[in-house]
Amino acid sequence: MTDNLELSHQQKRAFQPQRLSAPRNFTLPEGLDKSEVPLVLEIGAGKGKHALSFVQQNPDKHLIAIERTRNKFDAFTKLAAQQKSSNLDAIHADAIAWIVHAIAPNSIDSIFILYPNPEQHNPNQQWLNMPFFEFLLSRLKVGGEVILATNIEAYMDNAEQQAHEAWCLPNIRRKVKSDSQRTHFEVKYLARQETCWQLTMRKPKGYQTRFDSWTIDNLKPIEI
């Protein structure tokens, strides 16, 4: 049980991290637990366009960029090897399992989720609809941000509603500038003159989740 913990959100269904095995060939990036620079996480890095640009523009930050699909990850790592950025870790894994096993509570400064699969036929798999989002927020530092971008208006409408009603997060929704080029998807959508949206959600001071002290060494089930 949560022992009278007053949660800062309205999500009742609890994520169960203790049920997830570590990804195949799982290893922690060297020095991750000792890093003194701001840590940034990108989920679904694709071929790495945003990641490679971000680490060049932000040499004072360290980016962990996760991509599950093999062919995209291979293209990403080929470009990363050419760029040789010391402040980038490219990870080939399922993001949920990897985050559960690798990321400590209150350790990430910002999280990018840029143009995720809209899961239009399976909305329970949209990021803000999943109980895992509570765990993700527990890894974020106070004042940290989750940055979500999509070209699907219905996806953004739902994300904005969930940010307000389920997760109780201060947030700002805006249109992406027409000359933005963060990802290959973004370039393609904007070239077709589609509207893209960004939702920036901030974790406020005092925000509490069921996972604020949970680590992989603590395998107790989380219940409401």
pLDDT tens for residues 194-216?
Answer: 999 999 999 999 999 999 999 98
Using 50, 70 and 90 to split pLDDT, how confident is the model at 222? low
Give the integer Cα–Cα distance in Å for 166 and 212: 18
pLDDT tens for residues 85-96?
Answer: 999 999 999 999
- The position carrying tokens 């004072």 is 60
Please tell me whether the overall predicted TM-score, pTM, comes out greater than 0.85 for this model.
yes
Residue 65 DSSP code: E
Give the integer Cα–Cα distance in Å for 68 and 72: 8
Q: Which tokens sit at 127?
A: 């990021």
- Residue 64, beta-bridge partner list: 41, 89
What is the arithmetic mean of pLDDT over 99-114? 96
Listed range (21-25, 29-33, 100-104) with the worst mean pLDDT: 29-33
pLDDT tens for residues 63-75?
Answer: 999 999 999 999 9
Q: List, in order, residues 6 or more apart from 158 with CB less than 8 Å away.
A: 123, 126, 128, 129
- The position carrying tokens 């904005």 is 160
The closest of 84, 81, 89 to 62, measured between CA atoms, is 89
- The position carrying tokens 């291979």 is 74
User: What are the two backbone dihedrals, phi and then psi, of residue 195, each rounded to the nearest 5 degrees?
Assistant: -85, 130
